[in-house]
Amino acid sequence: MAPVLSGSPPPDDRRALPIGVFDSGVGGLTVLHELLVSLPREDFLYLGDSARLPYGTRAPHELRAFAVETGEELLARGAKLLVVACNSATATALEHLRRHVAATDRETDVIGVVGPESNLAVAATRSGRIGLLATPATVTSGAYERAVQGADALTRLTSVACPDLAAIIEEDAPVTRRVVETVRGYCGPLIDARVDTVILGCTHYPLVRPMLQRILGPDVRLITSGAAMVRRVQHALSVRDLVATRPGEGHYAFLTTGDAARFRATGTRFLQLPIEEVEHVDLTTRAAA
Q: What is the pLDDT along the chain (289 residues), one digit of tens a residue?
A: 444 444 444 445 899 999 999 999 898 999 999 999 999 999 999 999 999 988 888 899 999 999 999 999 999 999 999 999 999 999 999 999 999 999 987 889 999 999 999 999 999 999 999 999 999 989 999 999 999 999 999 999 999 999 989 888 877 767 788 889 999 999 999 999 999 999 999 988 998 999 999 999 999 999 998 888 999 999 999 999 999 998 899 999 999 999 999 999 999 988 989 999 999 999 976 655 5
CATH number assigned to the domain comprising residue 260: 3.40.50.1860
* Catalytic residue status for 86: yes
Residues 76 and 160 both lie in one domain: no
> Is 141 a member of any domain?
yes
Residues 122 and 197 both lie in one domain: yes
Give the H/E segment covering residue 284.
Answer: helix 283-288
What length is written for the chain?
Answer: 289
> Is 140 a member of any domain?
yes
Residues 104 and 232 both lie in one domain: yes
Q: Which of 19, 202, 237, 244 is catalytic?
A: 202
Four-residue CA torsion sign, 249, 27, 48, 260: negative
Residues 166 and 241 both lie in one domain: no
Q: How far apart are CA 255 and CA 18, in angstroms?
A: 13
Q: Which of 86, 122, 130, 160 is catalytic?
A: 86
Domain that holds residue 107: 14-112+227-288
Q: How far apart are CA 83 and CA 111, in angstroms?
A: 5
pTM for the complete prediction? 0.87
> Is 268 a member of any domain?
yes
* Catalytic residue status for 187: no
Residues 107 and 170 both lie in one domain: no
Residues 28 and 119 both lie in one domain: no
State which of 209, 225, 241 marks the end of a domain. Answer: 225
Residues 158 and 233 both lie in one domain: no
Sheet hosting strand 81-84, strand order edge to edge: 110-112, 81-84, 19-23, 44-48, 252-256, 278-280
Residues 199 and 120 both lie in one domain: yes
State which of 225, 240, 275 marks the end of a domain. Answer: 225
Task: State the first-to-last Cα distance of the chain, in angstroms, to the nearest integer.
Answer: 30
> Is 1 a member of any domain?
no
The helix/strand/coil state of 3 is coil
Q: How far apart are CA 106 and CA 116, in angstroms?
A: 23
Residues 190 and 119 both lie in one domain: yes
Q: In total, how many domains does the chain have?
A: 2
> Is 7 a member of any domain?
no
Nearest residue to 220 (alpha-carbon basis) of 191, 189, 192: 191
> Is 130 a member of any domain?
yes
Residues 220 and 231 both lie in one domain: no
State which of 181, 198, 225 marks the end of a domain. Answer: 225
The helix/strand/coil state of 278 is strand
